[in-house]
Amino acid sequence: MSKITEGAKVVLRVENICKCFNTNEILRGISFEIKKGETKVVIGPSGSGKSTLLRCINQLTVPDKGSIWLEGEEVTHHMKDISRFRQKMGMVFQDFNLFDHLNALQNVTIGLIKVKKMDKKEAEAKAMEELKRVGLEKQACLYPAQLSGGQKQRVSIARALAMDPTVILFDEPTSALDPELIGEVLEVIKDLAEGGMTMIVVTHEMGFARSVASEIIFIEEGIVIDQGTPHKLFTNPEHERTKRFIHKIAELYGETENNQ
Partner 1 sequence: MIREYISLIIQTFPYLLSGSITTIGLVCGALGLGFVLGLPMAIGQVYGNKFISGFISLYVWFFRGLPELVLLFLFYFGLFTTLHLNLSAFHAAILVLGLRSAAYQSQIFRGSLNSIGEGQMLAALSLGMKKYNAVYDIILPQALRISIPGWSNEYAILLKDSATAYAIGVMEILTRASFVATRTYQPLPVYFLTGVIFIVLTYGGVKLLAMLEKRLKTPGFGEER
By the criterion CB under 8 A, which residues form the site for partner 1? 58, 60, 83-87, 89-91, 93, 95-101, 103, 110-111, 114-115, 142-146, 156, 159, 163
Amino acid of residue 1: M
Would you say 35 and 200 are in contact if contact means Cβ atoms under 8 Å apart? no
Closer of 27 and 91 to partner 1 (Cβ): 91
Strands (E), the chain: 10-21, 24-35, 39-43, 65-70, 73-74, 89-92, 167-171, 199-202, 215-220, 223-228
State how far the Cα of 110 lies from the Cα of 87, in Å rounded to an integer: 13
Q: How far is the CB of 58 from partner 1 (least distance, A)?
A: 6
Q: How far is the CB of 184 from partner 1 (least distance, A)?
A: 18
Q: How far is the CB of 223 from partner 1 (least distance, A)?
A: 25
Please name the residues in contact with 205: beta carbons below 8 A apart, sequence gap of 6 or more. Answer: 174, 182, 186, 253
Closer of 61 and 211 to partner 1 (Cβ): 61
Closer of 37 and 90 to partner 1 (Cβ): 90
Would you say 128 and 156 are in contact if contact means Cβ atoms under 8 Å apart? no
The three-class DSSP label of residue 213 is coil
Positive or negative, the CA dihedral 168, 172, 177, 182 is positive
Closer of 51 and 203 to partner 1 (Cβ): 51
Closer of 64 and 95 to partner 1 (Cβ): 95
Q: How far is the CB of 87 from partner 1 (least distance, A)?
A: 3
